[in-house]
Structures are given as structure tokens and as C-alpha cells.
Amino acid sequence: MKELNELIFGENLRYTEDHEWVETAGETLKVGVSDYAQDQMGDIVYVELPEVGDTFEKGEEFGSLESVKAVSELYLPMGGEIVAVNEALGDEPELINQDPYANWIVEIKASDISELEQLLQVDAYRDLLKG
């Protein structure tokens, strides 16, 4: 496992305490898992994705990642509608291990964009991991 100083962080991303990240992409938001999360899980072998059009409340489970170690649920950082899923992960779930920031999981249209302000900025997320 990586040491804290070896982890990669997206400086322009927001994070949750559950280790998901959010990136603003125009009118929508991309959601994925952090380098810390993928490192802790080990080799990801399966990604359970929601359907486009599904809606979720903030904090609601929207899918899961299965690794050789365990299954981890994914929680939506903000309420909204799924407008896209990263279909490539169905065939190549290991893409998350290779680059967790380039390989987003879902794209959402947020129901309340102000929820973005409640998420952790990169420095606060680093502090959480140090904790």
C-alpha cells in the first residue's frame, strides 16, 4: 500500500469522507473513487454500475466495486440523476487501479449544486487521511 506522500490527488476535485471524488464537467459532475480508495482495495475486478436515468439522494448507494479483497459500496456525493456511466469499466474494471481520476464511474446532473460546497477540498481530504 502507498504511503500518504505517494498518493495522487486531483487539486481541482472535491472529495467525500467515503473516498469518492467529484469533478465539475460543465453542466454535469463526474464521480469516481480516489487514489487512496483504489489503493486500499487492491485489484478491482468488477464494477456494479447504475442505469442512466436513475436518480439518487445525496449519500445513497449507487453501485459497488469488487476487488480481490472485498466489495465496497459507492455512495453518491450529491443528489441527482445519472446522465452517463463509464461503460469501459464493465469490460476493464482495472482501469480504476491504473488511473482513478481519468476513469470516472458515473456522470450526474445534480439536483442541488450547492451540495458541492459541502464536500472536502483537497487539503481537507489530505488531513482526513492523515487523521
CATH number at residue 92: 2.40.50.100
What is the extent of the structural domain holding 55?
A: 18-113
Question: How many other C-beta atoms can be found within 10 angstroms of the C-beta atom of residue 29?
Answer: 24
In a domain, 12, yes or no: no
Q: Has residue 6 been placed in a domain?
A: no
Residue 98 lies inside a defined structural domain of this protein? yes
Mean pLDDT of 54-65: 97
* pTM, full prediction: 0.96
Q: Across residues 37-48, what is the average pLDDT?
A: 97
The sign of the CA dihedral 36, 39, 41, 47 is: positive
105: in domain = yes
Judged against a pLDDT cut of 90, whether residue 25 lies above it is answered with: no
Confidence of residue 113 (pLDDT cuts 50, 70, 90): very high
Give the whole-number percent of the chain exceeding pLDDT 70. Answer: 100
In this prediction, residues 23-49 reach a mean pLDDT of 96
